């Protein structure tokens, strides 16, 4: 089922499947902001990444000495959530652990995702509750894809990425075989007036991975430099920027933790950047998509 939130400026749709944001339509400018999930390039709009962002090294993690196999980005994006609350301005979805999820990740949990529309801002809020008797270890992230180009008769390389106050950013890349990060080899993304053009070869080597809380706001600007969408993500330690090669979208991805480093084979509890949640405790975090 699809749930719609609407005001005089935006129309937003959220699916029960994956609690996935599936449309942001800008009424004011008559354009679709969110990618349409065309499977020719990428079949998703804005999946939640849980309980792991990216890939574990060799696609498995170690928990209390036991090995658990998990694919890229975890299982939540492919599961049916239950809509537990809907108002004129918000929709809340709930996912609870099952015997099947515990074969992949052994914890009892609840994951709630709330989308709240206020004017031209859409707030996405996560709440993870540890229902287990053990301390829980996880990462969680967002993966919204935005149409680029968004104007007729323009091409992607005319558009810009925008950031909040930085002169340059440092990123690492993913190992092409394992899809895990190579943190010891970093690259610089130079910025001019807090922005850079979207180079046609920018994503030739998969995602750009930014660590150390460098990005608190990121956006995409039209060829004239005017931003048309921004993500605000204060307090997120990691951020990814990605597109499929040649695809007409760009993903802006705030993450609480990320993929493994290459050759990491220690306990999940010792993984750098892991979120730690004690029994009966709750983790909460949110980010904001602003349509300009």
For residue 166, the model assigns a pLDDT of 78
Is residue 242 a contact partner of residue 72, using CB atoms and an 8 Å limit? no
Tokens standing for residue 68: 């658990």
Q: How confident is the model at residue 196 (pLDDT cuts 50, 70, 90)?
A: very high
Angstrom CA distances, 252 to 184, 220, 249, stand at 23, 9, 10
Angstrom CA distances, 78 to 19, 72, 95, stand at 9, 11, 11
Residue 165 clears pLDDT 90, i.e. is over it: no
Place of tokens 């993966």: 143
pLDDT in tens, 82-120: 999 999 999 999 999 999 999 999 999 999 999 999 999
Question: Mean pLDDT, the chain, as a whole number?
Answer: 97
pLDDT in tens, 182-193: 999 999 999 999
For residue 58, the model assigns a pLDDT of 96
Q: How confident is the model at residue 10 (pLDDT cuts 50, 70, 90)?
A: very high
Q: Indicate the fold that domain 2-291 takes in CATH.
A: Beta-galactosidase; Chain A, domain 5 (2.70.98)
Give the three-class secondary structure for 115.
strand
> What is the average pLDDT across 139-156?
97
Share of the chain above pLDDT 90, in %: 98
Tell me, rounded to whole angstroms, the distance of Cα 33 from its chain centroid: 16
Alpha helices in the chain (DSSP H): 101-104
What residues does each domain of the chain span? 2-291
Q: How confident is the model at residue 229 (pLDDT cuts 50, 70, 90)?
A: very high
> What is the average pLDDT across 167-187?
96
Contacts of 98 (CB under 8 A, 6+ apart): none
Place of tokens 């894809």: 145
Tokens standing for residue 186: 């970093």
């Amino acid at each position: 089922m699809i749930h719609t939130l609407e005001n005089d400026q935006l129309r937003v749709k959220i699916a029960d499947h994956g609690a996935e944001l599936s449309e942001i339509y800008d009424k004011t400018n008559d354009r679709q902001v969110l990618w349409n999930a065309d499977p020719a390039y990428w079949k998703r709009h804005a999946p939640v990444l849980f309980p792991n962002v990216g890939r574990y090294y060799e696609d498995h993690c170690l928990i209390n000495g036991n090995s658990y196999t998990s694919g890229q980005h975890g299982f939540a994006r492919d599961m049916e959530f239950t809509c537990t609350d809907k108002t004129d301005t918000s929709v809340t979805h709930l996912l609870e652990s099952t015997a099947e999820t515990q074969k992949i990740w052994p914890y009892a949990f609840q994951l709630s995702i709330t989308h709240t529309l206020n004017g031209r801002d859409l707030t996405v809020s996560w709440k993870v509750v540890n229902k287990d008797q053990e301390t829980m270890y996880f990462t969680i992230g967002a993966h919204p894809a935005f149409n680029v180009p968004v104007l007729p008769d323009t091409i992607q390389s005319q558009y810009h990425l925008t950031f909040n106050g930085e002169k340059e950013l440092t990123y690492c890349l993913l190992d092409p075989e394992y899809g895990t990060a190579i943190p010891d080899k970093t690259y610089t993304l130079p910025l001019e007036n807090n922005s850079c053009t979207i180079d046609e070869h920018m994503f030739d080597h998969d995602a750009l991975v930014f660590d150390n809380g460098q990005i608190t706001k990121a956006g995409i600007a039209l060829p004239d430099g005017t931003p048309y969408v921004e993500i605000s993500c204060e307090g997120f330690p990691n951020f990814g920027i990605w597109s499929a090669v040649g695809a007409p979208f760009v993903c802006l991805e705030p993450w609480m933790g990320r993929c493994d480093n290459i050759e990491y084979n220690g306990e999940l509890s010792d993984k750098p950047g892991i979120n730690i949640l004690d029994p009966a405790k709750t983790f909460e975090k949110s980010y904001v998509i602003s349509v300009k």
